[in-house]
Amino acid sequence: MGGRDPHAYGWPIPITGIRPELPDGHLPDLPTADEALRVGVIDTGIAVNSQGEVHPWLRGHVQYMPDEVEHRNDSDPDVGHGSFVAGVVLQQAPTATVLMHRAVVGAENEDEEGQVATAIRELGQAGVTLINLSFGGSLFEHSTPTVISEALSELGPEVVVVAAVANNALPLRTYPAADKRVISVGAATSSGAIAEFSANGDWIDIYAVGEGVVGPYQDGYAEWSGTSFAAATMTGRIARRMAAGMSAEQGAALLLSRSGVAHVWGVNGKRDVRFLEPLA
């Protein structure tokens, strides 16, 4: 197994100065977290600084175990991926509580697939009904790895799983996004154009903004692109519906049925696809 790949595209670009998303130099303060509104995120873990502290914007909104922490490493762009994903979810659903499970930790981990499967089972057994998977495998996989597929199949029908497609600009299926048990999410620009790096096959359920996304990174904020963050946007929007009283199933079905439209151009002409329009 080659390891699960966090689906970020390029390096995060640190933000300096004031931007519309950061009117006071930071994202708007979050309200108190609702511990009953739980979103499971299986990713690279939560990044901490040299003092062992998480990003201040995430405090009180993420729960994790001591072994689910990554220490800052400026030479590895994937360090901080999980924190960024959590931040994207929370921008869409500010009252959510993110339950982080670190299971995507690089090719040196020989049992990464087993750890992903264990994390899926633990979240399901804990009653979590919304799970985000912002990673995938190689193009040489033709199905979801068996151990992960079995864990997904054990989840109850009330559990919604959202997964990022690849950043390969190809129509080829990648897993677990193409698994029939999950909602697959590709990346688009804020105007609804399909991002040039996003996978774009007719197997993809919906596209969401995944280009130039702003989120917490290291001690500040960064702009990052990738289908990872498109998936996290979809997950956060489902959680937002859950905060309004819907189940995860109901929220996902509503977003899929009432999505906007984006266009994909290929050798067979134009094809309409679902597009999750940004919040006003």
Active site residues: 43, 81, 228
Residue 192, number of CB atoms within 10 A of its CB: 17
Helix (H, G, I), strand (E, B) or coil at 56: helix
Element (H, E) at 160: strand 160-164
C-alpha triplet 186, 187, 190: angle, nearest 5°:
140
The Cα–Cα gap between 212 and 129 comes to 29
The Cα–Cα gap between 98 and 12 comes to 22
Helix (H, G, I), strand (E, B) or coil at 260: strand
